Chain A
Amino acid sequence: MRVIIVGGEELVYFLGRLLISGGHSVSVISKNPEDCSEIVRQIKALVICGDGADPRRLEEAQAMRADAVIAVTPRDADNLAVCQIAKHRFEVPRTVALINDPDNETLFKDLGVTLVFNQTRMISSLIQQELSIEDIVNLLPIKEGKVIATEVRIRETHACAGKTLVEMALPKDTLLSVIIRGDSVIIPRGDTKLLADDTAVLISTPQAQGAALRKLTGE
């Protein structure tokens, strides 16, 4: 895939490195000349110094041949302009934007941005999860948070300890996908028992997550 990333140093560097190692070809548009020379030094990418919301810079970055444009500047308005211009001027099929103001999520989606990352909400929900129950950690949101993976550390006191999956009867829209027991990884079946000190990975919708966690922990 040909990907154009628009934004500043840190995030662009890590994202660029990740995409390049995944076999994608990466171009970067960044405003700050110092950021640009740093990115050139760090990753193998075409780097253009300038405003990514300027159609001329997108053209220089070969936007007409790009499969995706990712806008990760700290300003929501800039990210929206980058995505809209990429989509409408250069017919880029996939546009991805980072947003800071959670209110902007609906607007960006209505205006045709393919994928919207709401960083404020992601970070705050991670913190909340960490603070509420330390045995339960939200691993990652999939498909913009429509599916979530949750890691649960099983304790002796938990309702599920010593029970098989069938006995537990987890609610609809949830799947206990993996059990990590010591060094071994178990893909559970109906007759697999959960034991204390296991780590279970639960896949679920956000709506069903609470009920499933209550079944597991008994809290």
Chain B
Amino acid sequence: MFVVIIGCGRLGSRLAIEASKGGMNVVVVDKNKRAFDLLTAEFSGFQVVGDASNQEVLRSAKISDADIVAAVTDNDNVNLMVAQAAKHLFGVGKVLARVTDPLKAEIYAQLGLKVLCPATVAADAIGAEMLK
């Protein structure tokens, strides 16, 4: 399995470490070199420094070879553009985008994109816990 993770913040770095521990080949992309400081020694993949909204950067991350792309930067619009590029332009089979705005997430989900909205996910989990 080859995974490309866009954004190496708290979520991206954790995803990268978990995927790496799970035996996947991982490339992490972030425009800020210092973001990679969040990666621990357990991470055995590659790092690409660059703005993922630039297709040249996606190509240098070998995105067209990826089985999974997770776009999890702190910018909804960048995540949505990268996810759609991965799906429509680079033919990636499984694509996920993190979208913090629930309304925006709903619109893109209707367009057939796999979106994860942290607020909705957390509300569902907390709600389920409360109703237990």
Contacts and interface: CB of A to CB of B under 8 A. Distances in A.
B85 interface: yes
B110 A77 contact: no
B74 interface: no
Given A54-B101, A77-B53, A101-B55, A88 B111 contact: yes
Given A75-B53, A76-B53, A101-B53, A81 B89 contact: no
- Interface secondary structure of B, over-half rule: helix
A50 interface: no
B80 A77 contact: yes
Nearest to A106: B89
A111 B53 contact: no
A112 to B, nearest CB: 10
A84 B111 contact: yes
Interface in A29-50: none
Nearest to B73: A77
Contact of A77 (B77, B104, B107, B111): B77
A188 interface: no
The binding surface of chain A is classed by DSSP as helix
Interface string B54-96: 1110000000000000000001111011101100110000000
A22 B62 CA distance: 47
Interface in A67-102: 75-78, 80-81, 84-85, 88-89, 101
B107 to A, nearest CB: 5
Interface residues of A, number: 21
B33 to A, nearest CB: 21
A56 B107 CA distance: 12
A141 interface: no
A55 B89 contact: no
A55 B102 CA distance: 11
Contacts of A53: 76-77, 104
Contacts of B76: 53, 81
B107 A80 contact: no
A52 to B, nearest CB: 10
Nearest to B75: A77
Given A85-B107, A88-B110, A88-B111, A78 B89 contact: no
B104 A111 contact: no
B89 A77 contact: no
B103 interface: yes
Contacts of A191: none
B77 A80 contact: yes
17 contacts: A53-B77, A54-B101, A54-B104, A55-B103, A55-B107, A56-B103, A76-B81, A80-B77, A80-B81, A84-B80, A85-B104, A88-B111, A101-B55, A103-B55, A107-B84, A107-B85, A107-B89
